[in-house]
Amino acid sequence: MNRLFFFLSILLLSIPSFAAQLNLDLGDNKRVWQTKELLDHPQAQTVQIPDDVSYKRNMNYRAVPLAALLKGVKADDHLQAVALDGFVAELSAAPLLNAKGAQAWLAVEDPAKPWPLLEKNKLSAGPFYLVWTSPKDGQIGAEQWPFQISSFKLLPPVAERFPALRPDAKLAASDPINQGFMLFQKHCLACHRLNGAGDSQFGPDLNVPYSPTEYFTTESLKRYIRDPQALRNWPQAKMPSIASSMLSDDELEQLVGYLKHMAGRKQPVSSK
């Protein structure tokens, strides 16, 4: 019996993990891609990612240029990447379509050659992971590297889908608060809701019941955004630091300005 158990264990360990599928819902372009199809894609190649955002070290991936999969998507469109753990990345299409500078790639985990675990007793970044070559050329932030992706969806812009996020309509388009709203979408909405609006289930609401501008001083909040673990450190903390290379000091001021503005525009949130 012990010998049988031993051989069964060896057999199970030798079987690769199951392949996955990627769902694309891009309006008229709806398709389900299987892992093998993507690994065999004619544009698939090995890409080198120095100092990978998730693994914190150099990584090599079998990957497909994301633009090759986004047939019919235009630069002014808006996409949403949905991850298996509830992380939702709101993505402007323009950077995803770039062929030069910061370029987006869909890294595909080969079941026969699984990627390392992200942490002990955690899953890998697979089955699909959005990675970037030359990310600094496009000021690509950590929130634009979603992993464990299950789908990409073509959706209306955030402001259209979630009116509760919008600043006062009387403000000029060039007002710093509106600029802060754009930065909120890029850096915060992947994990947080505001006024109950947003698709992510990952982090707390940033306005209800209280805005962080109501319990942080302005300077403390800026420090927290720059380096969350320096002010609040615990083993399960997940909020990444946002360096000045990704969010300038002026942009940080605009982001905090938006949060302050929205603290005066609270809306009731349904308990359902």
Query: What are the extents of the domains in the chain?
Result: 17-155, 159-263
4 — pLDDT class (breaks 50, 70, 90): very low
- Is 9's pLDDT higher than 60? no
**Could you tell me the fold of the domain covering 159-263?**
Immunoglobulin-like (2.60.40)
- Is 264's pLDDT higher than 80? yes
Contacts of 146 (CB under 8 A, 6+ apart): 81, 83, 87, 89, 129, 130, 190
- Is 6's pLDDT higher than 80? no
18 — pLDDT class (breaks 50, 70, 90): low
Contacts of 148 (CB under 8 A, 6+ apart): 83, 84, 85, 87, 123, 125, 126, 127, 128, 129
Q: What percent of the chain has pLDDT over 90?
A: 65
Query: Which regions of the chain does DSSP assign to beta strands (E)?
Result: 21-26, 29-34, 45-49, 59-65, 78-83, 88-92, 103-108, 128-133, 149-155
- Please tell me the predicted confidence (pLDDT) of residue 98: 94
- Please tell me the predicted confidence (pLDDT) of residue 235: 63
246 — pLDDT class (breaks 50, 70, 90): confident
pLDDT digits (tens, 9 = 90+) for 81-92: 999 887 888 899
Whole-number mean pLDDT of the chain? 88
pLDDT digits (tens, 9 = 90+) for 158-179: 899 999 999 999 999 999 999 9
- Please tell me the predicted confidence (pLDDT) of residue 270: 67
- Please tell me the predicted confidence (pLDDT) of residue 46: 97
C-alpha triplet 150, 151, 157: angle, nearest 5°: 140
**Could you tell me the fold of the domain covering 17-155?**
Sulfite Oxidase; Chain A, domain 2 (3.90.420)
- Please tell me the predicted confidence (pLDDT) of residue 227: 87
Q: Which residues pair with 47 in a beta bridge?
A: 61
Contact 259, 206 (CB under 8 A): yes
What is the SS3 assignment for 48? strand
- Is 120's pLDDT higher than 90? no
- Please tell me the predicted confidence (pLDDT) of residue 7: 40
- Is 8's pLDDT higher than 60? no
- Is 233's pLDDT higher than 70? no
pLDDT digits (tens, 9 = 90+) for 125-161: 999 999 999 998 988 888 899 999 999 999 998 899 9
Mean pLDDT of 9-28: 66
pLDDT digits (tens, 9 = 90+) for 55-95: 999 999 999 999 999 999 999 999 999 998 878 888 999 99
200 — pLDDT class (breaks 50, 70, 90): confident
